[in-house]
Amino acid sequence: MGHDDSADEFDLVVWFAPTAPTDREAATAAVIESMLLAQRAKPVLERAASGGRAAFLAVTQFDGAFGLTEVAADEKAILGGVFALVKTLGIEGPTLFCRGIDIAVEQGAERGAAALLAELYDPRTELTQVGYGAAGQRRTLEFTEDPPGLLIDAPEVPEPNSADLLVFTGGGRGVTAACAVAVAERFGCGLLLLGRTEVTDEPEWAAGIPDADLMKAAAAHSKTTGTSATPRELRDICGRVLAQREIRATLEQVRAHGAEVEYLPVDVSDPAAVRAALAPYRDRITGIVHGAAVLDDQLIDGLTPEAISKVLTTKIRGWSALLDAVDADRLRHAVMFGSVAATFGNRGQASYSVANDALNHLACALKLRHPGIAVTSINWSALAGGMLRPELQKLLLLRGITPISLADGGALFAEQLTAARSRDVLCQIGPWPPAPLEQPDAIVVGREVRVSRDMRPIGESRALSDHMVDGYPVLPATVALGAILDVVKQTHPGLDIRSARDLKVLKGLVFDSPAPRLYFTIRDIEPTEVSVLVTDETNRPRYRATVSSVLPEGDSATTNRYTDLPPLTGGTPVTCYQDGTLFHGPSMQGLRTVLADDGERLILNARMPVPDWGGGYCGTDRYLPLTADVVAHGTALLSYMTTGVPSLPTGCVSTELVGSLPNAQPLYLVVHRPEVSLPLVRCTVEACDPDGRVLLRFRHIELVTSAALAEKFQAEKRPADV
């Protein structure tokens, strides 16, 4: 163990895997220990890396080939999960030198130490795994579509038929369900589906209710029964109903193909429960498929023993429980579901990566013990509807990676059970390569999605050059909101965005240097809304807002259509862009005329400019940033008319996307009398179509007035774009 908790400074950590763990649980505990060591050491190593190489090495003593060809004992094979740890640590700590080194026992202590030192000073920092065989040969890993030969030599195994009985863990949902249906369709074999969800009769309040309306029905039932369930409790209730529906649908699909199927509710991580559940079928089971998994994604910095154990237990103990509950001499097929996160590591998924890499090694161990079994560990890549969250699926699409469908995944899985593929001990299913190898632009951590966004398309926009304060281009708050809505649209494609509340400009973004990169942290709050925090490259907060699929309830004065607006023609031309009241340049000068001012409402004619933000880089179908910015101009104008002092927006209590804004068409702006508490002004404005229908409402835009802005605005006066 190369770590001392009392040391304040060090630049090298070496973790040595135990050479002879007593059992699977001891091996799993050792892997967890390596992960917690990496967590403790990471910040110290990162500080040390500023002065030179700082390294984390994980050393095993297998076969010099990473335990993939000669390690038959499960308790040793599990230790192979540490190779995924060093890969993930290298991704999350890019300044660190991270490497897994496997030294064959035959190397001895002296030669092993020499090999370790050689690797420590290796100039090829991109290598993550290196092995030294018994004869001293040095090996690395290379991933190709067509491997040159078999990992473990073995005979072909016939495909299953109607006489076989296969056990699937992971329930009758998601990718496991798709694979079970595909197997039933192609081979007609019997199936046992194991899952944690109890399948009970559907509650009366949910009967006949479409999936999309369950939340509404659950809330109504809660209200009538006086139980007052919270939104989170309602979501859990609906989640159970949906899970049971999905299981029933899977069973129906399997039976429709003429195959027998049973569903057994059992926790796969409980060996005794699995053994009891499978005991009546033990003499008939010829295949096992371990698809059970849980996610608890978080960066290495936030790992806890409990979170790690939850992920590893389902994968590793679940596989052991399943294998121990069946007769290995009767098995002809044994398949486990893993992930390319095991192959490459993945930011925010240390536990998941390690668990799946351990499965890869367990597959090789079983194949060595039973070469007559078709053993395969499938490393799934981008699979829509699997363990890939919908928001991450959308992000992969944006990066040119097309996830395969569940149906295609099921068909490819069934193909893997054929005799021709029965000698594939390790394989990958899905897009290849599974992801770009550069630093990802988005990660999923627990209930958060973190997205980075290059702002160059904004910085190169003509409109930004017309939004300058004191000589510098400044990102409009409405465009920051547009970027927030755009990111949420991409990460949560099922969320129908209708409003945003509590928008705050924490520190405005000035383009006084090369265009920055912004980082968006999106956190699920309830099924209908997410919170977003925008930070810069120094982690300084810039903007925040909460985005929702629900329009907020208005006050008694709120209307969604005005019937008393004056004609759009005529009125008095505005001069606010020429006299320094507002600072916006030609492409953003959308206010045209004052149509009416009765002391309670200022009614304006505005013609919206065509968007010019990197070709639609921000916004949604309902929200156009430049159009929205012109709408906000109305509040700045009325604020000036009321206080005689120029202002800049700092936030908005509520943005309501009532309809879709048009481009380059005349609209009404209805600006309501502001609330003044200097230096703060709060003002509500609505954009209405020519028939008086409200399309966009900024409820209580918050502006900060300052006499010092007058000089800065004067410097930006430009002639109107006529």
Mean pLDDT of the chain: 86
- Residue 184: is its pLDDT beyond 90? yes
Q: Would you give the distance in Å from CA 710 to the centre of its chain?
A: 45
Place of tokens 């005794």: 272
Q: Which residues pair with 227 in a beta bridge?
A: none
More confident residue, 541 or 620: 541
Residues 82 and 244: their CA atoms lie apart, in Å, by 36
Angle between helices 477-491 and 390-398 (to 10 degrees): 110
Q: Give the H or E element holding residue 265.
A: strand 261-265
Among 598, 587, 690, 593, residue whose Cα is nearest residue 634: 593
**pLDDT number for residue 1:** 40
- Name the H helices within 446-529: 456-459, 462-465, 477-491
Give, as one character, the DSSP assignment of residue 78: G
**pLDDT number for residue 393:** 57
Residues 198 and 244: their CA atoms lie apart, in Å, by 8
Q: Give 696's contacts (C-beta < 8 A, 6+ positions apart).
A: 623, 627, 628, 631, 655, 656, 657, 658, 659, 661, 686, 687
- Residue 236: is its pLDDT beyond 90? no
- Residue 631: is its pLDDT beyond 90? yes
Among 77, 57, 81, 137, residue whose Cα is nearest residue 104: 137
Among 665, 545, 681, residue whose Cα is nearest residue 605: 665
More confident residue, 344 or 326: 326
**pLDDT number for residue 29:** 96
- Residue 277: is its pLDDT beyond 90? yes
**pLDDT number for residue 492:** 80
More confident residue, 681 or 526: 681
Q: What is the DSSP string of 273-314?
A: HHHHHHGGGTTTEEEEEE-------B-GGG--HHHHHHHHII
Residues 166 and 331: their CA atoms lie apart, in Å, by 9
CB of 335 closer than 8 Å to CB of 166:
no
CB of 326 closer than 8 Å to CB of 285:
yes
Reported pTM: 0.63
Give, as one character, the DSSP assignment of residue 404: B
In sign, the C-alpha dihedral spanning 239, 397, 388, 176 is: positive
Structure confidence by residue, pLDDT tens digits, 552-589: 876 656 788 999 999 998 899 999 988 888 988 888 88
- Residue 51: is its pLDDT beyond 90? no
**pLDDT number for residue 396:** 55
Among 584, 683, 582, residue whose Cα is nearest residue 642: 683
**Using CB atoms within 10 A of its CB, is residue 652 exposed (0-12), middle (13-18) or buried (19+)?**
buried
% pLDDT > 70, the chain: 88
Low-confidence winner among 521-535, 585-599, 614-628 (lowest mean pLDDT): 614-628
- Name the H helices within 338-389: 340-344, 350-369
Tell how strand 442-445 and strand 448-454 pair up.
Answer: antiparallel
Structure confidence by residue, pLDDT tens digits, 114-168: 999 989 888 788 889 999 988 888 988 776 666 656 667 788 999 999 999 999 9
Give, as one character, the DSSP assignment of residue 384: B
- Residue 389: is its pLDDT beyond 60? no
Domains of the chain from N-terminus onward: 12-139 (no CATH), 165-196+266-429 (3.40.50.720), 200-258 (no CATH), 447-551+566-716 (3.10.129.110)
| pLDDT-derived band at 59, boundaries 50, 70, 90 | very high
**pLDDT number for residue 381:** 80
Find the largest Cα–Cα distance for the chain: 94
The helix, strand and coil proportions of the chain, stated in percent and rounded to the nearest 5, come to: 35, 25, 40
> Length of the chain in residues, anyone?
722
Residues 180 and 251: their CA atoms lie apart, in Å, by 9
**pLDDT number for residue 616:** 53
Structure confidence by residue, pLDDT tens digits, 441-490: 545 555 677 788 777 777 767 778 788 887 778 889 999 999 999 888 87
Q: What is the DSSP string of 666-703?
A: EEEEEEEPPEEETTEEEEEEEEE-TT-BEEEEEEEEEE
Place of tokens 């699979």: 383
More confident residue, 437 or 455: 455
CB of 424 closer than 8 Å to CB of 154:
no
CB of 510 closer than 8 Å to CB of 467:
no
Residues 378 and 74: their CA atoms lie apart, in Å, by 18
Residues 522 and 238: their CA atoms lie apart, in Å, by 23
Q: Give the H or E element holding residue 596.
A: strand 591-597
524: Cα within 13 Å, side-chain hemisphere: 19
Residues 601 and 672: their CA atoms lie apart, in Å, by 5
Q: Provide the b/e sequence for 509-543 (b: ≥16 CB within 10 Å).
A: bebeeebbebbbbbebeebbbbbbbbbeeeeeebb
**pLDDT number for residue 688:** 95
CA distances from 683 to 246, 397, 582, 651 (A): 49, 40, 16, 11
CB of 580 closer than 8 Å to CB of 595:
no
- Whether residue 123 is preceded by a cis peptide bond, meaning omega within 30 degrees of 0, is no
The vertex-531 CA angle with 529 and 536, nearest 5°, equals: 150
Among 704, 687, 535, 670, residue whose Cα is nearest residue 626: 687
Neighbours of 182 (CB within 10 A): 24
Q: What are phi and psi of 376, to 5 degrees?
A: -145, 130
Q: Would you give the distance in Å from CA 479 to the centre of its chain?
A: 24
Structure confidence by residue, pLDDT tens digits, 258-267: 999 999 999 9
| pLDDT-derived band at 722, boundaries 50, 70, 90 | very low
More confident residue, 231 or 330: 330
**pLDDT number for residue 718:** 43
* Dihedral-angle region of residue 655 (phi above 0 means left; psi in -120 to 50 means alpha; beta otherwise): beta
